[in-house]
Structure 1
Amino acid sequence: MAEDMNVSKGKLQRDLGLLDAVGIGVGAVIGAGIFVVTGVAAGVAGPAFLIGLLIAGFAATCNGLSLPN
């Protein structure tokens, strides 16, 4: 398989385009934002935040496990 891609064994090919770099940057900003918002919400809601997080996790699990028609 490595012969087909013209990549020598043990080395990775450096191939990162503009769209790839923008995608990594946007993903990092969104990922960091999720942690910041979660911390702020936990500070405001107090112990009830955990209950809300569990309910949201259950709803996300139901959505993820649902089958298309």
Structure 2
Amino acid sequence: MPELKKSLGVWSAAAVSIGAIIGAGIFVLVGVASGLAGPSVILSFALAGCVALFTALSAAEL
């Protein structure tokens, strides 16, 4: 039986994972989040983006 070849690299698989994690929620919840958190919503989105990046990189290694 021939072996399967990886067609997605780590960064491509991470990009797919980030797209699945973030989804359309970022477009829907921006108004609600900025109403609750005010100007610090930018910091919270940056922190959530870092968490999503590391989660996606972990999933891409599987």
Larger Rg: 1
TM value normalised by structure 2: 0.49
Return the TM-score normalized by structure 1. Answer: 0.45
Bigger RCO (CA 8 Å, 6+ sep): 2
Greater helix content: 2
